């Protein structure tokens, strides 16, 4: 069954090449493999998992998830399980991950154990849980690298950014020993995501933040990475250039609008665009006037009803402080941004305080 499935996938890609102007040699060169490897794969034989990913992306990108799901279930070699699980995680193919974990838990226990844990705790990587996972005596460099990256997430979520940096440095020590190109690229993208956030929001280092956001964007590992990179670019230009910030927000919304299960995120980003437009004294476009808060902004009403709102109080105090020339409200805005260690956005009220001839340091 597995051989038939692999032959079917190879046949689909081969037929797609026949009907196009691209040759097997062209694809092999683009991927960085020999024509022999390419021919072997299209004939239904197994090649390295990362080569399969790149071949599918080059030949039939619109069917990538479908074909890679079939390939993962077609009976891959145990040495590719780590790469397959990481790939499926980046593409949010969680059912395929569960299938692989069940099928390969005996022959690839380290990979299956870690990714089973990731599936269980994704979105809430806490140090206490990670420490329990660390008690297992993992031998492979892939497992050690991923565990260290999980510790980076854990410390970042706790707001311990110095510790996150420490474990980033520790994880990079393993990278030279990670041989699989896709795994290495995906692991680096995970760290780029954390670094771009830290440098922008906590360190106020816009140049470094954009460097890592650009690296994340170029990796094109997943839609989530592209989304994060574009969002960080949008935020980094918020005070510098309306046009650039608006452009990147539109890229974010284009991705979110293509994923119906992310409507809440799309709404939040439309609200942020309205905030951007109001900050730059532009009229709020109807398509971004989507919440009660944006309606108040659009009508230039007082924002005092949002002073206790968990995520809008920062902007409520900011804009009322600007309008009323109230340093106390601007200070509260800066305090709330700083309290959640978003020192980049804390610059918004700080700029206004300088205009009131108050020298405030953050």
Nearest to 133 by CA among 120, 123, 121, 147: 147
pLDDT of res. 361? 59
Separation of alpha carbons 298 and 46, rounded Å: 59
Q: Which pLDDT tens digit goes with each residue over 238-279?
A: 999 999 999 999 999 999 999 888 999 999 999 999 999 999
Q: Which pLDDT tens digit goes with each residue over 77-96?
A: 999 999 999 999 999 999 99
> Cα torsion for 54, 171, 122, 190, to the nearest 10°?
-50
Separation of alpha carbons 4 and 121, rounded Å: 36
Q: Is the pLDDT of residue 3 over 60?
A: no
Separation of alpha carbons 115 and 134, rounded Å: 13
Nearest to 273 by CA among 256, 259, 258: 256
Q: Which pLDDT tens digit goes with each residue over 31-78?
A: 999 888 889 888 888 889 999 999 999 999 999 999 999 999 988 999
């Amino acid at each position: 069954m597995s051989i038939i499935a692999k032959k079917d996938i190879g046949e689909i890609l081969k037929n797609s090449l026949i009907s196009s102007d691209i040759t097997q040699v062209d694809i092999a060169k683009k991927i960085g493999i020999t024509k022999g490897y390419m021919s072997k794969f299209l004939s239904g034989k197994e090649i390295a998992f990362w080569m399969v990913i790149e071949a599918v992306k080059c030949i039939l990108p619109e069917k990538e998830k479908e074909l890679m799901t079939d390939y993962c279930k077609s009976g891959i070699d145990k040495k590719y399980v780590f790469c397959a699980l990481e790939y499926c995680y980046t593409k949010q193919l969680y059912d395929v991950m569960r299938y692989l974990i069940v099928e390969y838990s005996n022959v690839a226990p380290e990979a299956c154990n870690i990714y089973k844990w990731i599936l269980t705790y994704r979105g809430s990587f806490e140090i206490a849980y990670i420490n329990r996972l660390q008690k297992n005596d993992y031998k492979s460099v892939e497992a050690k690298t991923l565990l260290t990256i999980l510790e980076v997430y854990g410390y970042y979520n706790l707001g311990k950014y110095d510790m996150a940096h420490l474990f980033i440095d520790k994880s990079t020590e393993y990278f030279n020993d990670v041989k699989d190109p896709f795994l290495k690229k995906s692991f680096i993208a995970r760290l780029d995501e954390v670094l771009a956030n830290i440098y922008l929001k906590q360190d106020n280092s816009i140049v470094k933040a954009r460097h890592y956001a650009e690296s994340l964007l170029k990796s094109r590992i997943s839609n989530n990475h592209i989304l994060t990179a574009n969002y960080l670019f949008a935020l980094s230009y918020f005070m510098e250039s309306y046009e650039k910030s608006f452009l990147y927000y539109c890229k974010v919304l284009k991705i979110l609008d293509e994923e119906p299960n992310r409507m809440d995120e799309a709404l939040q980003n439309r609200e942020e665009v309205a905030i951007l437009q109001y900050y730059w004294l532009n009229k709020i476009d109807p398509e971004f006037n989507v919440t009660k808060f944006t309606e108040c902004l659009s009508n230039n009403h007082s924002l005092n009803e949002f002073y206790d709102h968990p995520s809008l109080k920062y902007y409520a105090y900011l804009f009322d402080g600007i309008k009323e020339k109230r340093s106390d409200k601007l200070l509260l805005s800066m305090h709330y941004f700083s309290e959640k260690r978003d020192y980049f956005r804390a610059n918004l009220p700080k700029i206004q305080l300088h205009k009131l001839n108050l020298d405030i340091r953050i």
